[in-house]
């Protein structure tokens, strides 16, 4: 009984540590993505042009991997990019990589 509890406590601590590491990595990735988006000054598409206050168009669309690419294959796994609409807005994703 005591060994089971100790084993469960050990497993619980391992899961908590894994979650902590994943949260830390997610925070770093979000920060990197936001900094990159700011550096590229937004995304410019024909249907949704974006310009900064000086009239310069953003170039973030050049590094999008799935957005507005529903006719293309995922760069990672070659699965066709999917598009769904949620509240009138489109979401693009790879159904294999982004579950
Ligand atoms: Zn993929």
Average model confidence (pLDDT) across the chain: 91
Spatial distance between the Cα atoms of 37 and 31, rounded to a whole number of angstroms: 10
Tens digits of residue pLDDT in 55-73: 888 888 888 899 989 999 9
Contact 79, 96 (CB under 8 A): yes
Residues bordering ligand 1, an ion, CB closer than 5 Å: 74, 76-77, 79, 94, 96-97
Looking at residue 68, the DSSP 8-state letter turns out to be T
Question: What distance in angstroms lies between residue 7's CA and the mean position of ligand 1's atoms?
Answer: 37
Q: How confident is the model at residue 1 (pLDDT cuts 50, 70, 90)?
A: confident
The CA dihedral of 70, 74, 79, 85, to the nearest 10 degrees, is: -30
Looking at residue 44, the DSSP 8-state letter turns out to be -
């Amino acid at each position: 009984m005591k060994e089971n509890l100790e084993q469960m406590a050990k497993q619980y601590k391992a899961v908590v540590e894994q979650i902590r590491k994943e949260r830390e990595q997610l925070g770093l990735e979000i920060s990197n993505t936001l900094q990159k988006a700011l550096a590229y000054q937004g995304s410019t598409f024909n249907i949704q042009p974006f310009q900064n206050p000086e009239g310069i168009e953003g170039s973030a669309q050049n590094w999008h991997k799935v957005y507005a690419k529903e006719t293309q294959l995922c760069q990672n796994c070659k699965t066709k990019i999917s598009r769904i609409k949620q509240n009138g807005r489109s979401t693009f994703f790879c159904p294999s990589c982004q579950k």
